[in-house]
Structure 1
Amino acid sequence: MSDFDDVCVLLPTFEEAETVETVVSSFREAGLREVLVIDGGSTDGTREIAREAGARVVEQSGEGKGQAIREAVRDHVDAPYVLMADADDTYDAADAEAMLRPLLEGEADHVIGDRFADMRPGAMTRLNRLGNRLINGAFRAIHGEDYGDILSGYRAFTRESFLQLTLTADGFGVETEMAVECVKQRIEVAVVPVTYRPRPDGSSTNLHPVRDGGVIFLELYRKAKTNNPLFYFGSVGTISTTAGAIMAAFVLYRWLVFDVGHEIIAVAATGAIILGMQLLVFGVLADMILSLHREQLDRQDRVVEKRLASDAGGADAESGPSRSGDDGTDDGLTAESAGN
C-alpha cells in the first residue's frame, strides 16, 4: 500500500497541451497514482493528452480557476487529502512528499508551497516578483499572518478543511481568498519551501499581471471587511477625513488671505470630515465586536475540549478491567465456597 493512497493530485488546466503530460507523469512516477485534471474547456487537446498520461479528466461546468477548484474538490474528489498544483510544469513533483508531510503527520490542515525559497532564474519577471512582494506585504499588514507566498499555486490541504472555506473567487484570486479564509477560520497552516521553475518553451501563461494583480488587491481589501474591519473602514475613513481637512485648509487660506469664500468646497469638506469620522468610529466598534466574537469562540472551543476530555476519561474508566472484590460479590462467593 502506498503512503499516498489517500491523496488526490488536483490539476486545474486550460490550454496546457504542451506540459500536461509531463506534469501528470511526474506526479504518478512520484507515487501519487490518483491524478485529477479539471479542464476549463481547452481546445488544444489538453484533456485527451492528460487522459492518455493516466489522469482522470473532467470538464468544469463554469469558468475560471477558482470555480474549477471548488467544483473539483466538492464534486469529484473523495480522497481525504488534496495536493493542488498548476499544470504548466513550473512546480516539482519531487516536493510532493514535503508538501504532504504536515498533513499526514497531523501538524497542519493547509500547506502552502513557498516559491521564493528556491526560485530558478527566469521563473518570474521583475514585475511579477514586485507584485508578489507587495501583495504578501499587504496580506501581512491586513490579516496579521505571514504565509510566505499566498499566491503560490502549489497547495496541499485536507478535504475537510477546504469545505470550511467560503470561496467565491472564480479567477486567480482564489489562492488569496484561500489564505484569507484560513486566517478567518483559524485553520492551521504550514509553509514549505518548494522549487519554482520557468515555464517550458512553447507554453503560454494565462496570468495577466496588471489585471489579475488588481483583482487580488481588491480581494484582499474586500475580505478585510469581516477579518479586519478596523482596517477596512478605517482606511476609507482616514482618506475621507484627510481629503476633507485639505479642502477645509484651502477654504480657510483663501478666506484669510484673499477674503474669498468657497461655500461649495466648504460644504464638501465638512461632509468628507463627518463621513470619515463616522467610518473611523464604525471601524473601531466593528473591531471590538469581532474581538468579542473571537473570544466567545475560543471559550466555546475550550469548553468543548474539556467536555471531550471528560467523556474520554469516563469511557476509559468504564472500559477498564473489573477486579475481583470490587463490589464484594466475588469475595463473598469465594468465602462461601471455602466454608462449604
Structure 2
Amino acid sequence: MRIAVLIPCHNEAPTVQKVVADFRQALPEADVWVFDNASADATAHLAAQAGAHVRHVLAKGKGNAVRAMFRDVDADIYVMVDGDDTYPASAVRSLIEDVAEGRADMVVGTRLESHENASFRRFHGVGNRLVRGCISALFGHPVRDVLSGYRVFSRRFVKSMPVLSRGFEIETEMTVFALANGFVLSERTIDYGTRPDGSESKLHTYRDGIRVLKTILFLFKDMRPLLFFGTLAVLCVLLSLGFGAIVIHEFARTGLVTHPSTAVLAVAFALVGVVSMATGLILDTVNRRSNEIQRLITDQVLAQRRPSA
C-alpha cells in the first residue's frame, strides 16, 4: 500500500523540519508532503530541506490546504497531521492499523485523555466538549475528539469527500461527513504535547469556535434535511395548536373572536410547519439521489485505480 503523510502548514518554520524528519523516520516507506498555506516565513524552504514534497496553496485557510491535499495526492492510505510538533510521530503505525486492515475509513488521534496542562489554551477544552456533544446528539454517534488534527483516512474516504470548509472547521466537517455517509470512524488515544517556544497557534478561540458551530448546524441541515426541517415543522405545529387553542376556547365560550391577530398567528405557524415538512421531504429525496450518484462516481474512480495498483 502507498502511504502519504500530509502536513498542512502556515508559518511553521520553527517546527516543520522536525515534524518531517520524525515522520520520515517513523514511516520510512511513506511519501511526506507539506502543503504550505501562504506562509510568510521559511516554512516551504525548510520542509524541502528536510526531504518533503512541497506544494504551495495560495488561498489562506486550513480547509483550502486540505482540499488541495485530497485533490493532488494519490495514495492508498493518507495520514494528516499538523506541522506544529504537538502530535507524536511514534503513534502513526497504531493509527494506520485500522485503515490498513479495512476496519475503519477514518481514524482520529484523540487528545483529551492524554495531554499536558499547557496543551490547550483557555476555553479550548470546553469548546471541544461542546462541539462533540452537539455532534453526538445530532448524529447519534459518540465522538471523543472532534477537532484533532491527527487523522488517518482510507482512499475511499478521501476521494469521496467534497471539502467545503475554508478554515479550522475542516476537522468538524470531516467528522460529520463520515458519520452522515456511513463511513466507519474509530478513535485512538495519543499523547498530545505542547508547542515549542517560538511557535504560535493560528486558532482564534471565539471566531473559529463560532465558525465550527455554524458548520455543524449547516452540515446537519444539508445532510439530515428531513430531521432538520421535520423538527422545525413539529415546533411550528405545536405553536399553531397552542395559539389556536386560545382562539377556539374563546369562541366556544363567547361565540366571538376578539383576538384576530392570535388566529392569524396560529394559521401562519401551521402554514410554516406544512411548508417546512414539505421542504424536508423534497430535500431528503434530492440528498439521497445525490449521495447515490456521488458513491457511484467514487466507486468508478477506485475501480479504475485497482488494475494499476
The 5 A counterparts of 1:163-312 are 163-237=159-233, 240=236, 267-268=264-265, 270-280=267-277, 283=280, 285=281
- Which stretches of structure 1, 4 residues or longer, exceed 3 Å deviation after superposition? 234-252, 261-270, 280-283, 285-291
Is the counterpart of residue 39 in structure 1 residue 36 in structure 2? yes
Q: Using the alignment, how far apart are the partners of 2:234 and 2:207 within structure 1?
A: 27
Higher relative CO (CA 8 A, sep ≥ 6), structure 1 or 2?
Answer: 2
How many residue pairs are counted as aligned between the two chains?
287
The 5 A counterparts of 1:128-139 are 128-139=124-135
Q: Is the contact made by 2:34 and 2:53 (CA closer than 8 Å) also made in structure 1?
A: yes
Most deviating of 117-126 and 38-47: 117-126
SS of the aligned residue for 2:272 comes to helix
Most deviating of 96-105 and 267-276: 267-276
Percentage of identical aligned residues: 34
Match of 1:305 in 2: none
Q: Using the alignment, how far apart are the partners of 1:243 and 1:204 within structure 2?
A: 49
Is the counterpart of residue 106 in structure 1 residue 102 in structure 2? yes
Larger radius of gyration: 1
Aligned-pair distance for 1:34? Answer: 2.0
TM-score normalized with structure 1 length:
0.73
Q: Using the alignment, how far apart are the partners of 1:211 and 1:247 within structure 2?
A: 39
1:268/1:58 Cα in 2 relative to 1: closer, same or farther (>3 Å)?
same
Most deviating of 42-51 and 57-66: 57-66
Instruction: Extract unaligned runs of 5+ from structure 2.
Output: 297-309
- 1:70 equivalent among 67, 71, 84: 67
- 1:48 equivalent among 45, 49, 63: 45
Paired letter, 1:42? S
Is the counterpart of residue 116 in structure 1 residue 112 in structure 2? yes
TM-score normalized with structure 2 length:
0.79
Match of 2:26 in 1: 30
Match of 2:305 in 1: none
Q: Is the contact made by 1:142 and 1:228 (CA closer than 8 Å) also made in structure 2?
A: no
Match of 1:148 in 2: 144
SS of the aligned residue for 1:24 comes to helix
Paired letter, 1:73? F
CA displacement, residues 247-273 of structure 1 (integer Å, 9 cap, x when unaligned): 789999xxx9xxxx7765764554234
